[in-house]
Amino acid sequence: MTTIDARRPEAAGDDIPAPVSRPADRRTSRSASGRRPWLGLAYLSPALLVYAVVVLVPVVQGGYLSFFDWDGVTPARWNGIGNYTAFVSDPVLRQAIAHTLVFLVFFSLLPIVLGMISAALTSRKDVRGSAAFRWAIFLPQVLTPAVTAIVWKQIYAPQGPVNSVLRAFGLGALARGWLSDYTWALPALGLIGTWGAFGLCAVLFVAGTQAIPTELYDAVRVDGAGPVREFLTVTLPGLRGQLAIVLTLTTLGAIRVFDIVWLTTHGGPGTSTVTPTTVLYERAFANPDIGTAAAVGVVIALVSLAVSMAILRLSEDRSR
């Protein structure tokens, strides 16, 4: 006869009832799970409060003031959408919008094109000095706008390096005060933006191309693809994420540029380099028109949000 060891419950069979959870344990579990969301909100509440005071309240207040005609001192008068229709009727605001479109070429399009060319030349080949080149072109990203403005004011000065080089090559007739010339001040500022954004685009594109599997390039080369087809079928799709990032950053930089313009030309000569942000600053502080300044700020914020959402939408991978 087989003897069953009473000290080993598993030897007596599998019909041992499982432990039953007590009602108190279930209540404790439900109460703990119910407290977790509120506990997280309690931890986040100080940061949310600061965000609301610093960001949300000024946004609501600015949107409210944009419907008034107010100089900051006398009582405000209701103006409805008059401050917004000024974008169509005010020649300075219309000119500022046109300048923003020009800056989009210099601050966004040119840096992206030059960054892709730079990435194509240095990413797949062992080019001597490529690391130093990347460091040099990325240097503008670590400089403050004030330093950048001071340096480029000296470069564009009548006796600065640009005019000195032109005179050295016998092109002294082309020398001029670039930032004080009504025709050339805007392109001159645009080149500063190209110089500043080029390094960021190049570094991101180089990092993106190095992450693309080499097997993809080998496959298209076996199919007889040339450099253009290789770029369009492998490199460009592989840089979708980096392209979305740099396009967002550079486009927003062109829309919201202020410091470089204000520290170099103050929007001049005349109104040849005014931007929406310089108009906002002048209407808010120099010649107080708080309602118009608030409307300009609201429009800049809405356009920036719309551009960001559009780029994000276009950059989504629809092949999934």
**Tens digit of pLDDT for each residue in 174-196?**
999 999 999 999 999 999 999 99
Any domain includes 85: no
Encoded tokens for 288: 């107080």
Query: In this structure, are 133 and 228 located in the same domain?
Result: yes
Q: Look up the domain containing 97 and give its range.
A: 90-314
Q: Where are the alpha helices (DSSP H) in 52-184?
A: 57-65, 82-89, 91-104, 110-122, 130-138, 145-155, 161-168
320 confidence band (pLDDT: 50, 70, 90): low
Query: In this structure, are 144 and 230 located in the same domain?
Result: yes
Averaged pLDDT for residues 96-114: 95
Residue 228 has a pLDDT of: 79
Encoded tokens for 250: 């550079």
Query: In this structure, are 37 and 112 located in the same domain?
Result: no
Any domain includes 250: yes
Question: Residue 68 in 3-state DSSP?
Answer: strand
Query: In this structure, are 230 and 279 located in the same domain?
Result: yes
Whether pLDDT at 16 is above 60:
no
pLDDT in tens, 120-144: 776 555 566 667 777 888 888 888 8
Contact 275, 253 (CB under 8 A): no
Residue 270 φ/ψ region, left for φ over 0, alpha for ψ in the -120 to 50 degree band, beta for the rest: left
Query: In this structure, are 187 and 240 located in the same domain?
Result: yes
1 confidence band (pLDDT: 50, 70, 90): very low
Contact 296, 74 (CB under 8 A): no
Query: In this structure, are 41 and 183 located in the same domain?
Result: no
Query: In this structure, are 176 and 282 located in the same domain?
Result: yes
Any domain includes 78: no
Contact 176, 164 (CB under 8 A): no
Any domain includes 72: no
Any domain includes 21: no
Contact 36, 42 (CB under 8 A): no
Any domain includes 50: yes
Query: In this structure, are 212 and 283 located in the same domain?
Result: yes
Q: pLDDT above 70 covers what percent of the chain?
A: 85
312 confidence band (pLDDT: 50, 70, 90): confident
Contact 257, 103 (CB under 8 A): yes
CATH number at residue 107: 1.10.3720.10
Query: In this structure, are 95 and 177 located in the same domain?
Result: yes
Question: Residue 258 in 3-state DSSP?
Answer: coil
Whether pLDDT at 200 is above 80:
yes
Query: In this structure, are 35 and 117 located in the same domain?
Result: no
Whether pLDDT at 11 is above 50:
no
**What total of structural domains would you count in the chain?**
2
User: To the nearest whole number, what is the mean pLDDT of the chain?
Assistant: 84
Q: What are phi and psi of 78, to 5 degrees?
A: -65, 130
The DSSP call for residue 144 is -
Q: The tokens 């000065």 sit on which residue?
A: 157
List the one residue out of 240, 206, 234, 232 whose CA is nearest residue 123: 206
pLDDT in tens, 144-184: 888 999 999 999 999 999 999 999 999 989 999 999 999 99
Alpha carbons 293 and 305: distance in angstroms, whole number? 18
Q: What is the 3-state secondary structure (H, E, C) of 172-229?
A: HHHCCCHHHCCCCHHHHHHHHHHHHHHHHHHHHHHHHHHCCCHHHHHHHHHCCCCHHH
Any domain includes 205: yes
Q: CA-CA distances (angstroms) from residue 207 to 122, 137, 250?
A: 11, 14, 18
Residue 75 φ/ψ region, left for φ over 0, alpha for ψ in the -120 to 50 degree band, beta for the rest: beta
Residue 286 has a pLDDT of: 86
Query: In this structure, are 141 and 278 located in the same domain?
Result: yes
Whether pLDDT at 288 is above 60:
yes
Alpha carbons 54 and 213: distance in angstroms, whole number? 45
Rg (CA), the chain: 30
Q: CA-CA distances (angstroms) from residue 198 to 96, 181, 311?
A: 24, 25, 19
Any domain includes 276: yes
For 180-213, b/e burial (b = at least 16 CB within 10 A) is: beeeebbebbbebbbbbbbbbbbbbbbebbeebe
Query: In this structure, are 201 and 295 located in the same domain?
Result: yes
Regarding predicted confidence, which is higher, 277 or 7? 277
